[in-house]
Amino acid sequence: MAAIGDDEILAYFGQDNYSPLPARLAAQGWQGWVPDLADYARGAAAFDDRGHARDGSGWVAFNYKPQPSTFWPTNGSTDDVLIRLPQAFRSKADGTPSADVYTANLALLEIAFQDLDAVTLPEVDEAETGADLDGNGRITRTGTLLRRDAYLGAAAGVPLTRMLYPEGTEFLHSVRYVGVAGDEIVVPRRMKELRYMVKTRMLDLSQIRSRYGNERQEKTDENLPRYIDLGDRGMDSGFGWTLLGFIEDADGELRPQTNEEQFFCRGCHATTGANIDQTWAFPRKLRGAEGWGYIDYHAMPDAPNLGEAEGEILTYIKRVGGGDEFRSNTEMLNRWFNPDGTVNAAAVRGKTVYDLIAPSRERALTLNKAYRVIVDEQSFVFGRDATVTPPANVHATIAARRPVT
pLDDT tens for 23-39 read 999 999 999 999 999 99
pLDDT digits (tens, 9 = 90+) for 118-154: 999 999 999 999 999 999 999 999 999 999 999 999 9
Indicate if the alpha-carbon torsion angle 141, 142, 146, 150 is positive or negative. positive
Encoded amino acid at 383, one letter: G
Does 235 have pLDDT greater than 70?
Answer: yes
Does 403 have pLDDT greater than 80?
Answer: no
pLDDT digits (tens, 9 = 90+) for 266-305: 778 878 888 899 999 999 999 999 999 999 999 999 999 9
**pLDDT reported for residue 201:** 96
**What pTM was computed for the model?**
0.96
3-class state of residue 88 by DSSP? helix
Average pLDDT, the chain: 95
Contacts of 94-103 spanning 24+ positions with Cβ under 8 A: 94/154, 95/154, 98/128, 98/129, 98/153, 99/52, 100/124, 100/125, 100/128, 100/129, 101/128, 101/129, 101/152, 101/153, 101/154, 102/52, 102/58, 102/60, 103/50, 103/52, 103/292
List beta partners, residue 246: 194, 256
List beta partners, residue 79: 175
**pLDDT reported for residue 306:** 87
pLDDT > 70 in the chain, percent: 100
pLDDT digits (tens, 9 = 90+) for 74-120: 999 999 999 999 999 999 999 999 999 999 999 999 999 999 999 99
Q: How far apart are CA 254 and CA 191, in angstroms?
A: 8
Does 399 have pLDDT greater than 90?
Answer: no
Q: From residue 201, how far is each of 22, 168, 237 by CA, in Å?
A: 26, 8, 11
In terms of phi and psi (left: phi > 0; alpha: psi -120 to 50; beta: otherwise), the region of 81 is beta
What is the maximal distance between C-alpha atoms in the chain?
79
3-class state of residue 288 by DSSP? coil
Q: Is 9:369 a contact under the CB 8 Å cutoff?
A: yes
Q: What is the CB-side half-sphere exposure of residue 366 using CA atoms within 13 A?
A: 12
Q: Is 292:51 a contact under the CB 8 Å cutoff?
A: yes
Encoded amino acid at 339, one letter: P
- Section 200-214 average pLDDT: 93
Q: From residue 279, how far is each of 84, 172, 363, 368 by CA, in Å?
A: 14, 12, 30, 27
Does 15 have pLDDT greater than 80?
Answer: yes
Confidence of residue 62 (pLDDT cuts 50, 70, 90): very high
List beta partners, residue 171: 83, 197
User: Which has the closest alpha carbon to 153: 99, 84, 91, 87?
Assistant: 91
